[in-house]
Amino acid sequence: MSQETTSNLSLLFEKMWEDYCQISPQAKRIFNLFSTNGEVVLNDHIALRTFNISGIRIDDLAKVFETEGYRPSGEYHFPQKKLYAKHWQHENEQLPKIFISEFKLEEGSTELQRIVTKLVKELTPESVKQPHFLYSGRPWKITTQEYLKLAEESEYASWMAAFGFRPNHFTINVNAFKKFNSIEKVNEFLQKNGFKLNMSGGLIKGTPEEMLEQSSTMAEKIKVSFVDGVLEIPSCYYEFAKRYPQKDGKLYHGFIAQSADKIFESTNRY
């Protein structure tokens, strides 16, 4: 891996982290909480969301990572939520995995399709190619009514419409922790410190047998401006992942669709 690649990626991840902490201040507080307790906070993966519309599909968003040496390493289906996802890995395992999901527009109602198509039309192909696109936020104008209409049908689509292109979550690599070296200990510590965790499908998603255990906070609500007013809506969440070795002794680096399905609900409004 060239030094250029390392610095391009670290700059990109730094910018993404800054944007993420700005709309999800709890992430910065949690990061600091573990750091001041002597832990080294490493990042297991960064997640992005999008719609499956030409120009902004999963593979379009992944281009910047592929240029820097990332390779597609797994795909996942979420039929109930009308989502599809892929993840990318780098040969340097210190670098976070990239998890990108998309809403399958053709499976939405006519009304949802109409609203989303209208929003995405405001994007220019040039803007998508800008290096800062992945932390540029919402590039379109949307009304509170449009947001609420989408939310009735898909929490995911409404989040995407309200927040746009930016990290949906970062994920703490629990394997790198010394004191809080299990998901149970992480969860207990966070709850003790007043953070609300996602209970959907249980506090811990996945098992050691599945080689991946995950938990996450519930996204905190922040004030977001729309064309016609302001709504207080869930922004981003922080995730925690502990990985276990495969039969060959190497750590499992994939994802479990059934667990990710529940983690998606961390941005639900209720």
Q: Which residues bind Ni ion (CB under 5 A)?
A: 47, 239
Nearest distance from C-beta of residue 237 to Ni ion, angstroms? 9
Which CB, 155 or 239, lies closer to Ni ion?
239
DSSP 56: S
Whether residue 235 contacts residue 122, with contact meaning beta carbons closer than 8 Å, is answered with no
Which CB, 146 or 239, lies closer to Ni ion?
239
Nearest distance from C-beta of residue 115 to Ni ion, angstroms? 26
Strand partners, 78: 83
Selection from 208, 223, 189, 205 nearest residue 266 by Cα = 205
Nearest distance from C-beta of residue 186 to Ni ion, angstroms? 15
**Which helix or strand (DSSP H or E) is residue 88 part of?**
strand 83-89
Nearest distance from C-beta of residue 45 to Ni ion, angstroms? 6
Which CB, 146 or 261, lies closer to Ni ion?
261
Residues with Cβ within 8 Å of 12's Cβ and at least 6 positions away in sequence, in order, are 64, 131, 134
Nearest distance from C-beta of residue 263 to Ni ion, angstroms? 6
Which CB, 112 or 215, lies closer to Ni ion?
215
Question: How wide is the angle at C-alpha 172 spanned by C-alphas 168 and 176, nearest 5°?
Answer: 160
Q: Which single residue is written with the structure tokens 């965790």? A: 197
Which CB, 226 or 264, lies closer to Ni ion?
264
Tell me the C-alpha distance between 116 and 139, whole Å.
12
- Kind of pairing, strands 237-243 and 169-173? parallel
Nearest distance from C-beta of residue 266 to Ni ion, angstroms? 9
Which CB, 167 or 226, lies closer to Ni ion?
167
